[in-house]
Amino acid sequence: MKVVTNSARRSPTVRVLSDCHAILYGENNFKSQRWAANNAHRSPSLLNRGYKTCLAALRSRRGSSDKAEGMNRMSILTEDERLKLIERSAQLMDNVQHALENDAIWEQIIQKEGVTVWRTYADVKNFRANGCAQSQNAADGATIRSETYMDASPDKVFQLLTDDDRVHEYNDNCVELADIEILDHNTKINWCATGKFGPFKARDFVTLVHFRPLEGEDGYISLAANIEHSKLPPANGYVRSEIQLSAMFMRPVPGNPNKTHIVQMTQVGQLGGAADSAVAKKITQNLSEKAPVDFMKKFNNALMSSPVPRPKSKSGPSPFIGVGKLNET
């Protein structure tokens, strides 16, 4: 029997094949990942064949129930776009993990209230295993990394992080949040909006979100990155902004499985309009370097508290309800 290595499990080829296998055969993640890892070595063309097989199967299922996984008659995406976004999320996850493991690119800037914060100007989203990554222009903004410990197990941390109805308990900037389309059981597109910031208009974001258990070890990972699509323009009343990267690693503390070591990485992109001026960018960067301390404190408090009902939207339904797969809940 072929031995499946951690590096094989983490490769983008394995990830895409795994997702295709799950769509085609309805098997759980573990079985699909194992099958993909054991078959990815067979031929360099297997990935392309996997794409074609998936596309053929998805097309053959047109007209079936909207609940069929991987299918959506009202989808904003073509099947090829859907699979490419799944592949992109897998590659981003690999690159971010490689960047996190390279201590040489990080500069510590703050240590406060149990939270340590670093920054880097390396291009984390395109970081490779060999450590080769182009440096970003400082004007594009640094990637901020923060680490601390949570007073709950990784399971509970992950459950809170993926519960959209509780985001308001630890993220004051997320005033509106709605899923637009589910790509697979680990990947989706969502829409988020802020309130107004002083003289700045409210911002909205369209984001590719991917979350799953860590492979080869206990814990979880969640990743979000900006995407653009012609069918998802800025909503009325909002200025379109970008979250270039938001990732979180959740691992149990050795010897204490009821505590979680959290690593968060964020990079804010273009905010749009006057918020992209040099002065506004400097203010935003300063805030992003200090914000992790407040975020971690609020997140831990939410873990220790009972759920707080999500406030009703003041602006009505999400502007993209009915555009993709999902309806408003």
Q: Write out the two tokens for 70.
A: 């991987």
Q: Assess whether pLDDT exceeds 70 at residue 299.
A: yes
Count of residues for the chain? 329
As a whole-number percent, the residues of the chain with pLDDT over 90 amount to 37
**Residue the block writes with tokens 């959290």:** 262
Q: Write out the two tokens for 54.
A: 């998936």
Q: Assess whether pLDDT exceeds 60 at residue 40.
A: no
For residue 198, the model assigns a pLDDT of 72
- Helix (H) / strand (E) element for 108: namely strand 107-112
Of 16-30, 156-170, 274-288, the range with the highest mean pLDDT is 156-170
Nearest alpha carbon to residue 191 among 212, 173, 205, 175: 205
Dump pLDDT digits (tens) for 129-185. Answer: 655 555 555 446 789 999 999 999 999 999 999 998 999 999 988 888 888 888 888
Q: Quickly list DSSP for 249-317.
A: EEEEETTEEEEEEEEEEEEE----GGGGSHHHHHHHHHHHHHHHHHHHHHHHHHHTSPPPPPPPPSS-S
Average pLDDT, the chain: 76
